[in-house]
Structure 1
Amino acid sequence: MAGAASAPSLLAPSIVRAQSFPARPISLVVPYPAGGPTDAIARFVAQEMSSSIGQNVLVDNRAGASGAVGTRAVAHGAADGYTIIFGNNQTHGNNMFLLKEPGYDAVKDFAPLCGVGAFEHAFVVRNDLPAKTIAELVALAKADPGKLNYGSTGVGSGSHLAMELFMQRTGIKMTHVPFRGAAPLVQEIVGGRIDIANSTLPSVLEQINAGSMRALALASPERNPRAKDIPTLREQGVSNADADSWAAFFAPAATPAPILGQLSKAVMAAIAKPAITESILKLGFTLKVRDPDAFKPYHLQEIATWKQIIADAGVKPE
């Protein structure tokens, strides 16, 4: 009887927190520099959430260590719902196998709020590179192994591993040049200092359309409606090299369930707003919204898949 009598008092603090949440602004951590497509999507969602929940949702860019700096901070921060993160297959997947000490567990330390979809990868090259097709690029790389360089958004990022997968499938060798996010990578390609990148389509679509870099292929099963003129790798004879980078919102795992539910609903409602949906799609991002129950098995499967690709590529933790 004593135990039964005490049960409501034990549950009361959690219920009270949930009922009064949010009572102050929420920090949405983006573990990359401002200006890239990940940052843009986070800001679209944050703006809409601010209107719907009655508190400001403030984007906090914390770049560094392939996204691990910001992700680690959220993992070890207060689990009260006031700090969440917009992560991806790098921060909440590949870092577990590519960093010797990431400082967090991508599964145990986080609770998913919403899977958003995926960044398709596009092969882009500097305008004066003498290759206009994937076949010509492969021939150029094979003529002088290691001479061509390729940029990525960091060791273990989707752009890095997608290129490792491509090199495996085509038997070529290029030199890796990692950057701290999409914005500096794009600047270097436009400036002609990087030869090629297998970059997320949203991070380069504007530059492709403006003619400041050229796109050779999409590493996806189908063409993107926002970039219909870009052929896929499969169309150009390269199979088993598709690579999409998913993105999702997370909170610390110990966040009370009622608050997780509120946050999840708020994020999904924001994305479902027609204006937000259209803004995200204009970036070239592919929307595929998953609630927490649907995202969890997908998350685990993606981790297993890319863990194997990392092993096959021989990429060592740094």
Structure 2
Amino acid sequence: MSLTRRSTLGLMAGAVLAPSFVSAQSFPAKPITIVVPYPAGGPTDAIARFVAQDLTTSIGQNVLVDNRAGASGAVGTRAVAHGAADGYTIIFGNNQTHGNNMFLLKDPGYDAVKDFAPLAGVGAFEHAFVVRKDLPAKDIKELIALAKADPDKLNYGSTGVGSGSHLAMELFMQRAGIKMTHVPFRGAAPLVQEIIGGRIDIANSTLPSVLEQINSGNLRALAIASPERNPRAKDIPTLREQGVSNADADSWAAFFAPAATPAPVLEILSKAILTSLAKPVVTEQILKLGFTMKLRDPTAFKPYHLQEIATWEAIIKASGVKPE
């Protein structure tokens, strides 16, 4: 092979490798956007903003939050999946956007595993059973008895078809042998207001979305759908304490980047986010929401992610919920 040809091939190889090398060496060179695929104001949005604020200081670039709601979180998730894989647009997703939508939407427009690289598992939103103040049920056993006495009379709200609050209630109804009428909403805020207003009987909502209303007395909490009581809501007993087993349901949350993002950039982002989440000031802000933190790096999160997808796929099939 001639010297000229070898030089030409060397330059071509360098051109192929250059983008990843340059992007990793200079990253981040401009603002980063965290897409939250839900409306502003909810607990998911709050956590993303806590992290964004800290990252802005630690990485020396502005980190912005962009709320792109719609289609059970699929609108914003799809945009990130098919956007530029350069590390400048990432997403704060959850078990709905990066799990359940695969089985609940006929065409989500993305693959939750193949199209994304996990950056950091943050933890989970525990679910709490809350009821309107005048519902004649003071605990889970009384709720089950009330539902069995008149099937489908009670209604329950959720944050949308296929959301964690919907499927968590489906799981509970399977385990308890009861039926209630589903009323989906677009997000936690309108759902909570309808329960406070007495038009919705019950919801199995994430604790952060209802903790303030529980503490203020606007809602009554019957149970936590987790193995242990939450330290921010110690007076709320678990389902297991009240005789209902195998009905625990947490809605996990995690940061993701497009799968084609260069590995060095993924590593920079992952380390920066995990470092931010581990800071006491950030941790305390998140814990105040009632969120349960369990940090996982990409290596630890991947098998957890796959197992969660398999678990909830089975629950969705058993519930008979059809893709929309």
CA contact (8 A) 1:93 1:106 kept: yes
Matched, 1:159 2:162: no
Partner of 2:176: 170
**Contact 1:63 1:180 (8 Å CA) reproduced:** no
Number of residue equivalences:
318
Deviations 1:224-281 (A, max 9, x none): 1110000000000111100011100001111111111111111111101110001111
Q: Is the 8 A contact 1:45 1:270 kept in 2?
A: yes
Shift of 1:5: 6.5
Give the match's secondary structure for 2:103.
Answer: helix
Q: What whole-Å deviation, never above 9, does each CA across 1:122-178 have from its counterpart, x for those lacking one?
A: 000011111111011111111211111111111111110000000001111111111
Partner of 1:242: 248
Identity, in percent, stands at 85
Name the counterpart of 2:52: 46
Per the alignment, residue 264 of structure 1 pairs with: 270
1:7 CA drift (Å): 3.4
RMSD between aligned residues: 1.2
Deviation at 1:192, TM superposition (A): 1.6
Post-superposition Cα deviations, 1:30-77, rounded to whole Å, max 9, x if no partner, equal 111111111111110010011111111111111111111111111111
Q: Could you say which residue in structure 2 is the equivalent of 1:35?
A: 41
Q: Is this contact kept in 2: 1:47–1:57, CA < 8 A?
A: yes
Task: Give secondary structure in 2 for the equivalent of 1:216.
Answer: strand
User: Relative to structure 2, which stretch is displaced further, 206-215 or 8-17?
Assistant: 8-17
Alignment partner of 1:111 is 2:91: no
Instruction: Output the CA distance in 1 between the equivalents of 2:90 and 2:15.
Output: 28
Aligned-partner residue type, residue 55 of structure 1: Q
Shift of 1:17: 1.2
SS in 1 for 2:110: coil
In structure 2, what is the equivalent of residue 276 of structure 1? Answer: 282
Please state if 1:14 is matched with 2:20. Answer: yes
Alignment TM-score, normalising by the size of structure 2: 0.96
The separation in 1 between residues aligned to 2:73 and 2:15, in whole angstroms, is 40
Query: Which runs of 5 or more structure 2 residues have no equivalent in the other structure?
Result: none
How many Å separate the matches in 1 of 2:124 and 2:98?
A: 14
- Matched ranges for 1:82-97 at <5 A: 82-97=88-103
Task: Give ranges in structure 1 of 5+ residues lacking alignment.
Answer: none
How far apart are the structure 2 equivalents of 1:215 and 1:88? 24
CA contact (8 A) 1:122 1:199 kept: yes
Residue identity opposite 2:240 in structure 1: R
Q: Distance in 2 between matches of 1:170 and 1:185?
A: 23
